[in-house]
Amino acid sequence: MKTVNEVSKLTGVSIRTLQYYDQIGLLKPAEYTESGYRLYDDAALEKLQQILLFKELEFPLKDIKEIINRSDFDKTKALEQQIGLLELKKEHIENLLNLCKYLKSRGVRRLDFTAFDSSKLDEYSKKAKEQWGQTPEYKEFSEKSKNWTKEYESGLMADFSRIFEEFGPMISKDPASAEVQAQVRKIQDFITENMYKCTDEILYGLGKMYAGGGEFTENIDKMGGKGTAEFVYQAIKIYCGK
Protein backbone atom coordinates (compact mmCIF):
# COMPACT_ATOMS: atom_id res chain seq x y z
CA MET A 1 0.00 0.00 0.00
CA LYS A 2 1.15 3.53 -0.74
CA THR A 3 0.01 6.77 0.86
CA VAL A 4 -1.32 9.64 -1.23
CA ASN A 5 1.98 11.46 -0.66
CA GLU A 6 3.99 8.46 -1.93
CA VAL A 7 1.72 8.09 -4.99
CA SER A 8 2.13 11.79 -5.73
CA LYS A 9 5.93 11.51 -5.61
CA LEU A 10 5.92 8.32 -7.69
CA THR A 11 3.60 9.57 -10.44
CA GLY A 12 4.02 13.33 -10.46
CA VAL A 13 0.27 13.76 -9.89
CA SER A 14 -0.38 16.34 -7.20
CA ILE A 15 -2.01 15.38 -3.92
CA ARG A 16 -4.77 17.88 -4.65
CA THR A 17 -5.47 16.15 -7.99
CA LEU A 18 -5.57 12.70 -6.39
CA GLN A 19 -8.00 14.01 -3.78
CA TYR A 20 -10.16 15.45 -6.56
CA TYR A 21 -10.13 12.13 -8.46
CA ASP A 22 -11.38 10.47 -5.29
CA GLN A 23 -14.13 13.06 -4.81
CA ILE A 24 -15.53 12.61 -8.33
CA GLY A 25 -15.27 8.80 -8.19
CA LEU A 26 -12.63 8.59 -10.93
CA LEU A 27 -9.96 6.97 -8.76
CA LYS A 28 -10.89 5.69 -5.32
CA PRO A 29 -8.14 4.58 -2.90
CA ALA A 30 -8.00 0.90 -2.04
CA GLU A 31 -8.85 1.83 1.52
CA TYR A 32 -8.73 4.60 4.13
CA THR A 33 -6.91 4.50 7.44
CA GLU A 34 -8.79 5.11 10.68
CA SER A 35 -7.53 8.69 10.47
CA GLY A 36 -9.00 9.08 6.98
CA TYR A 37 -5.74 8.91 5.02
CA ARG A 38 -5.94 7.44 1.53
CA LEU A 39 -4.04 4.23 0.71
CA TYR A 40 -3.47 2.95 -2.82
CA ASP A 41 -2.69 -0.61 -3.92
CA ASP A 42 -1.27 -1.86 -7.24
CA ALA A 43 -4.74 -2.07 -8.81
CA ALA A 44 -5.38 1.59 -8.01
CA LEU A 45 -1.99 2.56 -9.45
CA GLU A 46 -2.76 0.62 -12.63
CA LYS A 47 -6.04 2.49 -12.93
CA LEU A 48 -4.23 5.80 -12.41
CA GLN A 49 -1.87 4.86 -15.22
CA GLN A 50 -4.85 4.27 -17.53
CA ILE A 51 -6.33 7.64 -16.51
CA LEU A 52 -3.08 9.46 -17.29
CA LEU A 53 -2.74 7.74 -20.66
CA PHE A 54 -6.28 8.71 -21.65
CA LYS A 55 -5.50 12.27 -20.56
CA GLU A 56 -2.67 12.20 -23.12
CA LEU A 57 -5.39 11.51 -25.70
CA GLU A 58 -7.12 14.64 -24.34
CA PHE A 59 -10.26 12.90 -23.07
CA PRO A 60 -12.35 14.83 -20.51
CA LEU A 61 -12.29 13.29 -17.03
CA LYS A 62 -15.99 12.38 -17.16
CA ASP A 63 -15.39 10.40 -20.37
CA ILE A 64 -12.33 8.68 -18.90
CA LYS A 65 -14.40 7.61 -15.90
CA GLU A 66 -17.10 6.14 -18.16
CA ILE A 67 -14.58 4.33 -20.40
CA ILE A 68 -12.39 2.67 -17.77
CA ASN A 69 -15.43 1.50 -15.78
CA ARG A 70 -17.06 -0.22 -18.74
CA SER A 71 -17.48 -3.98 -18.48
CA ASP A 72 -15.96 -4.33 -21.96
CA PHE A 73 -13.00 -2.00 -21.39
CA ASP A 74 -10.18 -3.31 -23.59
CA LYS A 75 -6.83 -2.46 -21.97
CA THR A 76 -4.87 -3.81 -24.93
CA LYS A 77 -6.76 -1.62 -27.39
CA ALA A 78 -6.23 1.41 -25.15
CA LEU A 79 -2.49 0.77 -24.93
CA GLU A 80 -2.20 0.31 -28.68
CA GLN A 81 -3.84 3.69 -29.24
CA GLN A 82 -1.69 5.36 -26.64
CA ILE A 83 1.50 3.87 -28.10
CA GLY A 84 0.46 5.20 -31.51
CA LEU A 85 -0.16 8.66 -30.08
CA LEU A 86 3.17 8.74 -28.25
CA GLU A 87 5.01 7.68 -31.42
CA LEU A 88 3.38 10.58 -33.27
CA LYS A 89 4.34 12.94 -30.46
CA LYS A 90 7.90 11.63 -30.61
CA GLU A 91 8.01 12.29 -34.37
CA HIS A 92 6.60 15.79 -33.82
CA ILE A 93 9.22 16.62 -31.17
CA GLU A 94 12.05 15.21 -33.31
CA ASN A 95 10.96 17.43 -36.21
CA LEU A 96 11.03 20.48 -33.96
CA LEU A 97 14.39 19.44 -32.51
CA ASN A 98 15.92 18.98 -35.98
CA LEU A 99 14.65 22.41 -37.03
CA CYS A 100 16.17 24.04 -33.94
CA LYS A 101 19.53 22.31 -34.52
CA TYR A 102 19.53 23.42 -38.14
CA LEU A 103 18.82 27.05 -37.23
CA LYS A 104 21.51 27.00 -34.54
CA SER A 105 24.23 25.42 -36.70
CA ARG A 106 23.57 27.39 -39.91
CA GLY A 107 22.67 30.69 -38.35
CA VAL A 108 20.46 31.50 -41.31
CA ARG A 109 16.79 32.11 -41.82
CA ARG A 110 14.78 29.03 -42.72
CA LEU A 111 11.13 29.79 -43.30
CA ASP A 112 9.93 26.20 -42.83
CA PHE A 113 6.88 25.74 -40.63
CA THR A 114 6.18 22.05 -41.35
CA ALA A 115 7.78 21.05 -38.03
CA PHE A 116 5.02 22.93 -36.21
CA ASP A 117 2.25 21.01 -37.98
CA SER A 118 0.32 19.02 -35.36
CA SER A 119 -2.53 17.95 -37.66
CA LYS A 120 -1.55 14.26 -37.53
CA LEU A 121 -1.67 14.33 -33.74
CA ASP A 122 -5.04 16.07 -33.77
CA GLU A 123 -6.49 13.61 -36.29
CA TYR A 124 -5.20 10.60 -34.32
CA SER A 125 -6.77 11.85 -31.10
CA LYS A 126 -10.05 12.51 -32.89
CA LYS A 127 -10.19 8.99 -34.34
CA ALA A 128 -9.31 7.43 -30.98
CA LYS A 129 -12.17 9.27 -29.30
CA GLU A 130 -14.56 8.22 -32.04
CA GLN A 131 -13.62 4.56 -31.58
CA TRP A 132 -14.35 4.61 -27.86
CA GLY A 133 -17.74 6.15 -28.50
CA GLN A 134 -18.83 3.77 -31.26
CA THR A 135 -19.96 0.68 -29.35
CA PRO A 136 -23.70 -0.04 -29.86
CA GLU A 137 -24.20 -0.06 -26.09
CA TYR A 138 -22.59 3.36 -25.69
CA LYS A 139 -24.70 4.82 -28.48
CA GLU A 140 -27.88 3.31 -27.04
CA PHE A 141 -27.11 4.61 -23.56
CA SER A 142 -26.28 8.07 -24.91
CA GLU A 143 -29.60 8.16 -26.75
CA LYS A 144 -31.63 6.97 -23.76
CA SER A 145 -29.93 9.26 -21.25
CA LYS A 146 -29.67 12.46 -23.28
CA ASN A 147 -32.85 13.95 -21.80
CA TRP A 148 -32.47 12.68 -18.23
CA THR A 149 -32.84 15.24 -15.49
CA LYS A 150 -30.75 14.94 -12.33
CA GLU A 151 -33.89 14.00 -10.42
CA TYR A 152 -34.79 11.25 -12.89
CA GLU A 153 -31.26 9.86 -12.88
CA SER A 154 -31.18 9.83 -9.07
CA GLY A 155 -34.50 7.98 -8.95
CA LEU A 156 -33.30 5.46 -11.52
CA MET A 157 -30.10 4.76 -9.60
CA ALA A 158 -32.11 4.37 -6.40
CA ASP A 159 -34.28 1.74 -8.12
CA PHE A 160 -31.14 -0.04 -9.36
CA SER A 161 -29.63 0.05 -5.86
CA ARG A 162 -32.71 -1.67 -4.43
CA ILE A 163 -32.04 -4.70 -6.61
CA PHE A 164 -28.67 -5.13 -4.88
CA GLU A 165 -30.21 -4.47 -1.47
CA GLU A 166 -32.57 -7.37 -2.12
CA PHE A 167 -29.58 -9.66 -2.63
CA GLY A 168 -28.49 -9.06 0.97
CA PRO A 169 -30.94 -11.48 2.68
CA MET A 170 -30.16 -14.10 0.01
CA ILE A 171 -26.42 -14.45 0.74
CA SER A 172 -26.95 -17.63 2.78
CA LYS A 173 -28.80 -19.26 -0.13
CA ASP A 174 -27.40 -21.26 -3.03
CA PRO A 175 -26.50 -18.76 -5.81
CA ALA A 176 -27.90 -21.30 -8.27
CA SER A 177 -31.33 -21.31 -6.59
CA ALA A 178 -34.33 -20.12 -8.58
CA GLU A 179 -34.87 -17.15 -6.26
CA VAL A 180 -31.31 -15.85 -6.62
CA GLN A 181 -31.23 -16.45 -10.37
CA ALA A 182 -34.49 -14.50 -10.73
CA GLN A 183 -32.81 -11.63 -8.89
CA VAL A 184 -29.92 -11.73 -11.36
CA ARG A 185 -32.46 -11.50 -14.16
CA LYS A 186 -33.73 -8.29 -12.55
CA ILE A 187 -30.28 -6.72 -13.02
CA GLN A 188 -30.16 -7.71 -16.68
CA ASP A 189 -33.72 -6.56 -17.38
CA PHE A 190 -33.22 -3.24 -15.58
CA ILE A 191 -30.07 -2.41 -17.57
CA THR A 192 -31.68 -3.45 -20.87
CA GLU A 193 -34.81 -1.41 -20.20
CA ASN A 194 -33.15 1.75 -18.92
CA MET A 195 -29.59 1.85 -20.31
CA TYR A 196 -28.56 -0.53 -23.10
CA LYS A 197 -29.10 -4.11 -24.27
CA CYS A 198 -27.45 -6.19 -21.57
CA THR A 199 -26.38 -9.48 -23.14
CA ASP A 200 -25.18 -12.39 -21.01
CA GLU A 201 -21.60 -11.55 -22.00
CA ILE A 202 -21.96 -7.94 -20.88
CA LEU A 203 -23.70 -9.06 -17.68
CA TYR A 204 -20.82 -11.42 -16.92
CA GLY A 205 -18.34 -8.58 -17.44
CA LEU A 206 -20.33 -6.41 -15.07
CA GLY A 207 -20.33 -9.22 -12.50
CA LYS A 208 -16.54 -9.37 -12.59
CA MET A 209 -16.41 -5.62 -12.12
CA TYR A 210 -18.85 -5.76 -9.20
CA ALA A 211 -16.58 -8.17 -7.31
CA GLY A 212 -13.30 -6.74 -8.57
CA GLY A 213 -12.71 -4.44 -5.62
CA GLY A 214 -12.78 -0.68 -5.43
CA GLU A 215 -15.80 1.59 -5.61
CA PHE A 216 -18.24 -0.87 -7.18
CA THR A 217 -17.58 -3.64 -4.65
CA GLU A 218 -17.65 -1.18 -1.78
CA ASN A 219 -20.97 0.36 -2.83
CA ILE A 220 -22.71 -2.98 -3.47
CA ASP A 221 -21.55 -4.29 -0.09
CA LYS A 222 -22.99 -1.16 1.50
CA MET A 223 -26.33 -1.85 -0.22
CA GLY A 224 -26.68 -5.52 0.66
CA GLY A 225 -24.11 -6.11 3.37
CA LYS A 226 -20.55 -7.37 3.35
CA GLY A 227 -20.00 -10.10 0.76
CA THR A 228 -22.95 -9.08 -1.43
CA ALA A 229 -20.79 -8.06 -4.41
CA GLU A 230 -18.99 -11.42 -4.49
CA PHE A 231 -22.27 -13.29 -4.04
CA VAL A 232 -23.84 -11.38 -6.94
CA TYR A 233 -20.83 -12.22 -9.10
CA GLN A 234 -21.10 -15.93 -8.30
CA ALA A 235 -24.83 -15.86 -9.11
CA ILE A 236 -24.16 -14.03 -12.39
CA LYS A 237 -21.52 -16.60 -13.35
CA ILE A 238 -24.08 -19.38 -12.97
CA TYR A 239 -26.75 -17.35 -14.81
CA CYS A 240 -24.37 -16.79 -17.73
CA GLY A 241 -23.20 -20.38 -17.82
CA LYS A 242 -19.59 -19.60 -16.91
pLDDT digits 0-9 by tens, 14-45: 999 999 999 888 899 999 988 888 999 998 99
Which pTM does this prediction carry? 0.48
Q: What is the DSSP string of 184-229?
A: HHHHHHHHHHHTS---HHHHHHHHHHHTSSHHHHHHHHHHH-TTHH
Side-chain half-sphere exposure of 234, counting CA atoms within 13 A: 15
Residue 140 one-letter amino acid: E
Side-chain half-sphere exposure of 11, counting CA atoms within 13 A: 24
| pLDDT, greater one: 135 or 169 | 169
Q: How many CB atoms lie within 10 A of CB 79?
A: 13
Q: Which of 118-127, 152-161, 193-202 has the lowest average pLDDT?
A: 118-127
At residue 74, does pLDDT exceed 80?
no
Residue 170 one-letter amino acid: M
Which residues, at least 6 apart from 2, have a Cβ–Cβ distance to it below 8 Å? Answer: 10, 39, 40, 41, 45
pLDDT in tens, 53-67: 788 777 778 778 888
At residue 230, does pLDDT exceed 90?
yes
Looking at the domain 2-55, which fold is it? Multidrug-efflux Transporter Regulator; Chain: A; Domain 2 (1.10.1660)
What percent of the chain is modeled with pLDDT above 70?
Answer: 82
pLDDT of amino acid 120: 58
Which residues are bridge partners to 3 per DSSP?
A: 39
| pLDDT, greater one: 82 or 118 | 82
Q: CA-CA distance, 47 to 28, in Å (whole number)?
A: 10
CATH number of 136-239: 1.10.490
Specify whether the CB–CB gap between 50 and 65 falls below 8 A. no
pLDDT in tens, 195-222: 888 889 889 888 888 888 777 788 888 8
Sequence ranges of the domains in the chain: 2-55, 75-132, 136-239
Do 2-55 and 136-239 agree at the fold level?
no
User: What string of H, E and C letters represents the secondary structure of 167-184?
Assistant: HHHHCCCCCCCHHHHHHH
pLDDT of amino acid 189: 94
